[in-house]
Amino acid sequence: MEGRPYLHVVLYQPEIPANAGNIARLCGAAELRLHLIHPLGFKVDDKHLKRAGLDYWPEIDLCHHKSFEAFLESKDEGRLIAFSSHASEDYPKAGVRRGDYLLFGRETVGLPSSIREAYPCYRIPIWGKVRSLNLSTAAGIVVYHYLHRMGRF
């Protein structure tokens, strides 16, 4: 990828390899940078992770970070926007711009409250009795909506 990515997708300690693999493929398709914040709930050579990403792994702009603090030290001036089912504002209200970092939490517990309270946090509206969406589904919804708003397509 040349130049500054349109967006960054950041997964905070993801637990399910297939979700991370699906999101990696999403990032490859949209030419976004993917950040994985450790510890991960799987090994990076996990067969489910590899299978979900198919043969696109060489095309993925991927960064690993040993902790959230290490990630913060490495990021540039792009804003960090968090997503959580606990947020009260709907994600379309976020004013996204090129270079922003879209932060998604763990599949089972989401983001720690310390992160949700420190950064702008938005939710994907859910009207039924389901508590949350699958992580890779949520990332896909947000990424493509924001890319459309930014005029990418």
Domain count across the chain: 1
Q: Would residue 46 count as lying in a domain?
A: yes
Where residue 30 sits, what CATH number does that domain have? 3.40.1280.10
Q: Does 149 have pLDDT greater than 70? A: yes
* Dist. CA 123–CA 142, nearest whole Å: 10
Long-range contacts of 106-109 (CB under 8 A, 24+ apart): 106/12, 106/13, 106/14, 106/15, 106/41, 107/14, 107/15, 107/16, 107/19, 107/134, 107/135, 108/15
Give per-residue burial for 109-123: e unless 16+ CB within 10 Å, then b: ebbeeebbeeebbbb
* Residue 54 placed within a domain: yes
Q: What is the mean pLDDT of the chain?
A: 92
Read off the pTM: 0.93
Enclosing domain of residue 130: 7-149
Neighbours of 128 (CB within 10 A): 5
Tens of pLDDT along 110-144? 999 999 999 999 999 999 999 899 999 999 999 99
Residue 2 lies in a domain: no
Q: For 42-97, how does the pLDDT look when each residue is reduced to its tens digit (9 = 90+)?
A: 888 767 667 655 677 788 899 999 999 999 999 999 999 999 999 999 999 998 99
pLDDT for the residue numbered 52: 58
Rounded mean pLDDT, 90-110:
96
101, 19, 24, 44: CA torsion to nearest 10: 110
What is the rounded CA–CA span in Å between residue 123 and residue 92? 9
Could you tell me if residue 85 is inside a domain? yes
The pLDDT assigned to 53 comes to 57
Q: Does a structural domain hold residue 1?
A: no
pLDDT band at 4 (very low <50, low <70, confident <90, very high): confident
Average pLDDT over residues 34-49: 85
